[in-house]
Amino acid sequence: MSTANRVIKNTGYLYAKMGITMFVSLYTTRLILNGLGASDFGIFNIVGGAIAMLGFLNAAMASATQRFMSYAEGEGNKEKQKYIFNISIVLHAAIALIVGLVLVGAGWFFFNGILTIPDNRVFAAEIVYASLIVSTMFTVMSVPYDAVLNAHENMKYYALVGILESFLKLAVAFACVYATSDKLIVYGVLMACIPFITLSIMRIYCHRHYEECILAPRRYYSQALMKEMTGFAGWNFLTSVSSILGQYGLGVVVNHFFGVLLNAAQGIANQISGMLMAFSNNMMKAVNPVLVKSEGSQDRERVTYVALFGCRISFLIMAIFEVPMILLAPYVLKIWLKNVPEWAVVFTQLQLTRSLIEQLFSSLFTSIYATGKIREYAIVKSFLNILPLPLTILCFELGFSPYWLYLNWILCWGVLGGFVGVHFSWKVARIPSACFTKVVLLPCVLTVILSVSAYLINFLVGNANYNLYLGLLTPFFILSIGWFVILQKQERTILKSMLQDIITK
């Protein structure tokens, strides 16, 4: 199976999973909200939010494990994979234990001054908190198995586990609705069981199907490999922390200068961007293991193709959803919210513009991480992650408008971050910048310009009657033009073949 064919097929599995789980999740949320009531539902989210703050630590370790596992798979070194698997099992067991102890200690502070919870619901909240600690520990321990599935590009099974997980949550919701005892406690305890079930399923499957999944930590231990994996995770952790500090810091800056109303506008922009980013993230989950395995086999031509293919297809998918949203934001927000907060439209348009620009370079960043040589890149990227903070404070001190928050963000994360990605992808992964410009940048920019030209001409002429219709037609324009301008001949052939198979079956 060709690289493009495999990526497209795996992406299809992940999108099918996303469609099913989104539908089930919406219904589950409705059931839980009605079953628990607004107060108990709020308590669960407050307690869960306190634990979620440590999620970036797990994400940093997960990406490190997946990189090393995929790289060894590309090398064809099964013996090395056994070492990586056992070291990652030890690392994540230690992380799970440390996270559990930290959360137990933090619980005292959360329930004694930080969290505001009605006195008669404190005991239930504490049970939920303890259940979520157990749930978090199981989630951390499942990372090595998740990495194995990614390394083997087994997105079909990965998607099935995700769908099963969503239906288990639905079952918990029904149990909660019909429970006769304290519904919040029932919900919290049953939700903690789900990660244990998914971990058990993934563990059984991986041990039966993949030879590297052998539990022998004493036999398969390497201090040098342990140091290399923790070092990679450390630099990745630095970029993750700087990114989180940058994003939350900008929210604090906006609050300081303009108050909570602009935080509401910012929250709406983040929510819309987050929902649309799910389409790109699923595609990148299919591309990343192929790219890292290509680096592991030292196939430079394949690394370049997969990286540039990932950038192109990621941008095309996001453009289909984001460009119409940028054009029609005033209409969409008016229908969705009725009372649209001031600046929400502009913030949404600029936030989506930033994320769309970043998609142009998405797989270049993965190609850098695939090499393992990330120290210098992590330092520069972390600096750019924080840079919008002082720039935005300076702009607001000088009396600039609130939208300068996003202009600084676009400059630092989108434009400068993109140039940094191009530079380091050439420096460490040998992906030619001229090739990126020719194959990715120019076709993608040309596609968007041609797709919105009719809308822009109509807008400039001042005939607002047709703006809505032209905006709704934009996805068709992008897909039609991108089919010929962005996609290459072999990729169009693969997509046609797959569509014919779907129609036939």
pLDDT at position 38: 63
Residue 111 lies in a domain: yes
Same domain, 190 and 273: no
CA angle 371, 373, 375 (to 5 degrees): 150
Residue 496 lies in a domain: no
Residue 251 to residue 249: CA distance in whole angstroms: 5
Q: Which residue has the higher pLDDT, 191 or 271?
A: 191
**Is the separation of the CB atoms in 390 and 430 below 8 Å?**
no
Residue 383: which pLDDT band, with cuts at 50, 70 and 90?
very high
Two tokens at 256?
């300081």
Residue 475 lies in a domain: no
What single letter denotes the amino acid at residue 361? Answer: F
pLDDT at position 353: 94
Nearest CA among 192, 213, 173, 74 for reference residue 128: 192
Q: State mean pLDDT over 374-400.
A: 93
| Helix, strand counts (H, E) of the chain | 20, 0
Residue 488 to residue 306: CA distance in whole angstroms: 13
Same domain, 206 and 78: yes
The average confidence (pLDDT) of the chain is 83
Range(s) of the domain holding residue 303: 231-431
Residue 384 to residue 24: CA distance in whole angstroms: 38
Report the 10 Å Cβ neighbour count for 353: 18
**Is the separation of the CB atoms in 97 and 120 below 8 Å?**
no
User: Dihedral (C-alpha) 384, 389, 395, 401: value to the nearest 10 degrees?
Assistant: 100
**Whole-Å CA distances, 370 to 63, 238, 293, 398:** 10, 17, 8, 42
Is residue 491 pLDDT above 70, yes or no? yes
Residue 195 lies in a domain: yes
Same domain, 132 and 32: yes
Residue 471 lies in a domain: no
**Is the separation of the CB atoms in 185 and 128 below 8 Å?**
yes
**Is the separation of the CB atoms in 482 and 319 below 8 Å?**
yes
Two tokens at 181?
């005892």
pLDDT digits (tens, 9 = 90+) for 327-362: 988 888 888 777 778 888 999 999 999 999 999 998
Same domain, 70 and 216: yes
Q: Considering the chain, what percentage of its residues have pLDDT values greater than 90?
A: 25
Residue 419 to residue 411: CA distance in whole angstroms: 11
Nearest CA among 14, 99, 73 for reference residue 313: 14
Residue 420 lies in a domain: yes
Is residue 53 pLDDT above 60, yes or no? no
pLDDT digits (tens, 9 = 90+) for 201-254: 999 999 998 888 888 888 888 888 888 888 888 888 788 778 877 877 887 788
Q: State mean pLDDT over 171-200.
A: 84
DSSP 440: I
Q: Which residue has the higher pLDDT, 494 or 300?
A: 300
Report the 10 Å Cβ neighbour count for 344: 23
Q: Among 431, 454, 478, give the residue marking a domain's end.
A: 431
Same domain, 82 and 150: yes
pLDDT at position 387: 94
Same domain, 115 and 236: no
Q: State mean pLDDT over 117-127.
A: 77
Is residue 271 pLDDT above 70, yes or no? yes
Same domain, 116 and 192: yes
Same domain, 107 and 251: no
Residue 399 falls in which region: left (phi positive, over 0), alpha (psi -120 to 50) or beta:
left
Two tokens at 491?
């990729």
Averaging pLDDT over each range in 84-88, 177-181, 416-420, which range is the top one?
Answer: 416-420
Q: How far apart are the first and last CA of the chain?
A: 20
DSSP 298: T
DSSP 142: T
Q: Among 431, 460, 476, give the residue marking a domain's end.
A: 431
pLDDT at position 493: 80
- Tokens 């303009």, located at residue: 258
Is residue 363 pLDDT above 60, yes or no? yes
Same domain, 137 and 242: no
pLDDT digits (tens, 9 = 90+) for 199-212: 999 999 999 988 88
Q: Among 201, 221, 241, give the residue marking a domain's end.
A: 221
Q: Which residue has the higher pLDDT, 209 or 276?
A: 209
Residue 55: which pLDDT band, with cuts at 50, 70 and 90?
low
Q: Which residue has the higher pLDDT, 462 or 502?
A: 462
Burial of 495 (0-12, 13-18, 19+ CB in 10 A): middle
pLDDT digits (tens, 9 = 90+) for 392-430: 999 999 999 999 999 999 999 999 999 999 999 999 999
Nearest CA among 157, 188, 145, 209 for reference residue 44: 188
**Is the separation of the CB atoms in 431 and 361 below 8 Å?**
no
Two tokens at 188?
């919290």
Is residue 52 pLDDT above 60, yes or no? no
**Which has the minimum average pLDDT: 6-20, 392-406, 426-440?**
6-20
Same domain, 217 and 240: no
Sequence-separated (6 or more) residues with CB below 8 Å from residue 42: none
Is residue 308 pLDDT above 80, yes or no? yes
Same domain, 158 and 235: no
Residue 57: which pLDDT band, with cuts at 50, 70 and 90?
low
Same domain, 241 and 209: no
Residue 448 lies in a domain: no
Is residue 267 pLDDT above 80, yes or no? no
Residue 458 lies in a domain: no
Residue 11: which pLDDT band, with cuts at 50, 70 and 90?
confident
Q: What is the total count of domains within the chain?
A: 2
Q: State mean pLDDT over 295-303.
A: 88
Exposure b/e, 146-163, CB count within 10 A at least 16 = b: bbbbbbbbbbebbbbbbb
pLDDT digits (tens, 9 = 90+) for 283-293: 777 778 888 88
**Is the separation of the CB atoms in 269 and 347 below 8 Å?**
yes
Q: Considering the chain, what percentage of its residues have pLDDT values greater than 70?
A: 89
